[in-house]
Structure 1
Amino acid sequence: MTVKIRQLKGVIVTMPTITDQMKQQAEPLWQASFNHPFIKELSTGQLPMEEFRYYLKQDRYYLQNFSTLHGKIADQIKDQSIKKFLYAGATGLNDSEKDVRTEFFQQLAITPAEIRQTPMAPNAYNYVSHMYHELYVGSPRRACAALLPCYWLYNDLGKQLINNGSPVKIYQEFIETYDSPEFTEATNTMISIVDQLGESAEPDEQKAMVTAFVRSSYYELHFWEMAYEEQKW
């Protein structure tokens, strides 16, 4: 656990950071993600390819908005180092992830026409709407907290799955993307940013940040279910 260390009258006290609190509260949702049939079958190679294709098409909608939100949050942030990271996220911070996605679309023959004919599914729509809500009705702090599970959960999934991998080449490449040094570095930076923003926030704002994180974790869990069921309106 990452802790903040304070010294009070000669006694060193360790205190959990806000991201520790976030992860602790979201733990049941994360464990459900790790144990979801979509993830289990992706790892064993038993996941039907049509379900993975559906996931990729919905994730494309999500990632477009995820990238846009980085820039919109950066516009409202004063700290220059945070702005730099977020603007990089808006313009291609995780190029390796995007490159892999492009290869996946080519391998699976997902065409622009097919993408246009596939509407955003309810959970993807709700997840994106939640993130915009956290920025425009909430604050940049809450919006950053809402973005964090997409980094952190996927990085943890990559680290958990990499040892066994997957016998299906495209699933193995998916796993490797999220265990990569580049993605791990981006994840750690985003965790630090949220901790920094949380440290300077008022208690009510800190609670709202934790809530935003937990809600995003809920939508992450249901993203697997959305793809597994090929959810429609």
Structure 2
Amino acid sequence: MTEFTDQLHQAANSLWQKSMVHPFVQELKSGELPMTKFRFYLLQDRYYLNEFSKFHRAIAAKTSDQQTKEFLLAGAQDLKDSEMAVRERFFEQLKITPDEIAQTPIAPTAYAYVNHLDMTLERDGIGPTVASLVPCYWLYQEIGQKLADSGSPVSYYQEWIDTYDGDWYATNVKRILRLTNSLADSSSASEREKMQLAFVRSSYYELQFWQMAYKQERWS
């Protein structure tokens, strides 16, 4: 049986394929990615993940469905305990200081991605906003699984890959896909269209995020 998330995956397939072969991802795998670009990515991703976690809690506050609420609150906590904890270790090991964090401007793409999530929540509601979160889970899993086949010779990059190739991460992906399908099942056709649009837009921003980090994007 074809699930709604299969439809979403197909709709964003061309964007995901471009993410898979983006120079940032490919050089992370080969070990050729300059550390300056990885540091820039980490600083921008720190901002994004903090906001991403907040969106889980914001959606949870808006829903009356207990199952949805529990998943989102657990997801926010898991982000703190897993991905964000890994990032904090990277920051310590790479000597990224609180001053550097404070003095690093939010890049245009990171700013736009978070605004997209915010606008989706305010304008379109719970279903589309949950769909807008899915690419960050699912695309990273697919990239992690693909890169795990060969790994990376750089320990930081290998740890990044391992984060998204683990069983615990796969469990979280399955949960948000199940929630998305459940929300789609109880939504109208127009609501499902909004969910798909939100998913594709997030997939676009995921692709642009690699480019932002690779070019170390600045405000012009």
Superposition TM-score, scaled by structure 2 size: 0.97
Match of 1:52 in 2: 38
**8 Å contact kept, 1:143–1:212:** yes
Match of 1:131 in 2: 117
Higher relative contact order (CA 8 A, sep 6+): 2
Using the alignment, how far apart are the partners of 2:36 and 2:120 within structure 1? 32
Give 4+ residue runs of structure 1 displaced > 4 Å after superposition: none
Unaligned runs of 5+ in 2: none
Match of 1:192 among 178, 188, 196: 178
The 3-state SS of whatever aligns with 1:201 is: coil
Q: Which amino acid aligns with 1:187?
A: V
* Cα distance change, pair 93–170 in 1 and its aligned pair in 2 (3 A): closer
Q: Which amino acid aligns with 1:109?
A: K
Shift of 1:79: 1.9
Using the alignment, how far apart are the partners of 2:187 and 2:82 within structure 1? 33
The 3-state SS of whatever aligns with 1:78 is: coil
Unaligned runs of 5+ in 1: 4-15
Match of 1:83 in 2: 69
Q: Which amino acid aligns with 1:68?
A: K
Superposition TM-score, scaled by structure 1 size: 0.92
Using the alignment, how far apart are the partners of 2:171 and 2:185 within structure 1? 21
Identity of matched residues, %: 49
Using the alignment, how far apart are the partners of 1:70 and 1:213 within structure 2? 16
The 3-state SS of whatever aligns with 2:197 is: helix
Q: Which has the higher strand share?
A: 1
**8 Å contact kept, 2:46–2:84:** no
Q: Which amino acid aligns with 1:58?
A: Q
Using the alignment, how far apart are the partners of 1:65 and 1:99 within structure 2? 15
The answer to whether the aligner puts 1:30 opposite 2:11 as a matched pair is: no
1:100-151 Cα offsets, whole Å, 9 max, x none, are 1111101111111001111110000000000011111111111000000000
CA RMSD of aligned residues (A): 0.9
Q: Which amino acid aligns with 2:171?
A: E
Shift of 1:75: 1.0
Q: Which has the higher helix share?
A: 2
Shift of 1:98: 2.1
Shift of 1:180: 0.9
Q: Which amino acid aligns with 2:75?
A: G
The answer to whether the aligner puts 1:222 opposite 2:216 as a matched pair is: no
Q: Which has the larger radius of gyration?
A: 1
How many equivalent pairs are there? 219
